[in-house]
Amino acid sequence: MSESTPKGSEWAEWFTLLLSANRTAVIASVATVFLVPVLLHFLITVLFPERKHLNPTIIALGPSNAGKTCLMAQIELNYTTPTNKVPVETRPSIESWRAAQKIPKEIPEDGEHIVESNDHAWIKFDTLDNPGWPEQQAAAIRQLQGLLEERTGTLSGVMFVVDSSKFSGKDEEALNVVDDSVAFLYDVLLELQRSFEEGKRTKPYRVLICSNKEDLFTATPAKKVSEKLEKGVCQTREDKARGPLKAGQEEGDEIYTLIPGGPDGWKWLEEVGIDVQVKGGNLFGVKKGSTEWMNWIRECFV
Ligand SMILES: Nc1nc2c(ncn2[C@@H]2O[C@H](COP(=O)(O)OP(=O)(O)OP(=O)(O)O)[C@@H](O)[C@H]2O)c(=O)[nH]1
Ligand SMILES: [Mg+2]
């Protein structure tokens, strides 16, 4: 034992001092009692920063008026309310909206609903709905980036909702909707590719393109919507690669774009960990059709 180490008798003296009615000892003891928990709390919060969103999350993205809010509002109600009473409501989306949701582990036949008694029969998750106006899309992308920054597993899937009734129109409004859908989808896929390439995840990111509003007679079949979007995304990649330089970029700078490939039914994106599926459906109309979307959500949690 070194010279400076207190011997047994010295320890006893210290101990006696701490228990004595000495003023310094009382102050030291009180300070220790109050300061140690504060210091411990400080150390723990610095060493293990709190995660903001612990729940697995499905994020809803896509252009305005596509039906994201209606879809997010209806997920849980599909199974907890008799089908003929499920309200399909929307509200103006001004900012992101996080909601706790649940769907049954076993998807019931179309038209049935489940009674909420057995807690183990449900998959619980959050949805994060985002407004889709062009000026709000950057904020929506930031929400996606936030989820990608969390520890692996927080982002369970991306539901990219589009309005299929606008995909065959030749008028300016319809053309704008398609262009807007393509541009937004490109940005979403680019973020997922970046995250995968940075090694933030080994499992593929799941993306479901919900080709909504199939109840309308002007609706384009989901396969055609998919082809149009994929062709547009590939075209956007080419345009970005040789497009005008952005602020901070210089001639010769490499521009980060989606990987080459396609269109081939979105398979080219598998290489960068993105699994894209496209399914048609509708939230309104006599025969409501969101079963396939619900099945896709369920598969996100297998
Ligand atoms: N016919 C039909 N209309 C639908 C369907 N789904 C949604 N709508 C209507 O589409 C409009 C837009 O729905 P929202 O859910 O608010 O759209 P959103 O994507 O959330 O739009 P933003 O919040 O502006 O980005 C509403 O008037 C809905 O009633 C559908 O399946 N069929
Ligand atoms: Mg909305």
Residue 273 has a pLDDT of: 97
Output 62 or 283, whichever has higher pLDDT. 62
Output 147 or 78, whichever has higher pLDDT. 147
Pocket test for ligand 1, best of 59, 61, 65, 212 (most atoms within 8 A of CB): 65
Residue 112 has a pLDDT of: 64
Q: Could you identify the atom of ligand 1 that is nearest to the CA of residue 89?
A: 29
CB atoms within 10 A of CB 281: 22
Residue in this structure with the two tokens 């090694």, named with its chain if needed: 199
- Separation of CA 131 and ligand 2 centre (Å): 5
CB 297 within 8 A of CB 58: yes
Q: What percent of the chain has pLDDT over 70?
A: 82
Residue 67 has a pLDDT of: 95
Domain ranges of the chain: 9-47, 57-300
Measured between alpha carbons, how far is 7 from 205 in angstroms, rounded to an integer? 62
Q: Is the CB of 131 under 6 A from ligand 1?
A: yes
1 pLDDT band, cuts 50/70/90, is very low
Q: Is the CB of 178 under 6 A from ligand 1?
A: no
Q: Is the CB of 213 under 6 A from ligand 1?
A: yes
**Which of the ligands is closest to the CA of residue 137?**
1
Query: What element of type H or E holds 31?
Result: helix 23-47
What is the Cα Rg of the chain in Å? Answer: 27
- Separation of CA 66 and ligand 1 centre (Å): 5
Q: Is the CB of 164 under 6 A from ligand 1?
A: no
- Separation of CA 99 and ligand 2 centre (Å): 13
The tokens of 245 are what? 């330089």
The tokens of 86 are what? 């499920």
How do residues 163-205 score in pLDDT, each as one tens digit? 999 999 899 999 999 999 999 999 999 999 999 999 988 899 9
50 pLDDT band, cuts 50/70/90, is low
Pocket test for ligand 1, best of 61, 70, 210 (most atoms within 8 A of CB): 70
Output 3 or 124, whichever has higher pLDDT. 124
Q: Is the CB of 284 under 6 A from ligand 1?
A: yes
Residue 264 has a pLDDT of: 97
Domain 57-300 belongs to what architecture?
3-Layer(aba) Sandwich (3.40)
Residue 84 has a pLDDT of: 56
Strand ranges for the chain from DSSP E: 57-61, 97-104, 122-129, 155-163, 205-212, 274-280
Output 2 or 250, whichever has higher pLDDT. 250
How do residues 55-100 score in pLDDT, each as one tens digit? 899 999 999 999 999 999 888 877 777 655 556 667 778 889 999 9
Q: State whether residue 211 is helix, strand or coil.
A: strand
- Separation of CA 213 and ligand 1 centre (Å): 8
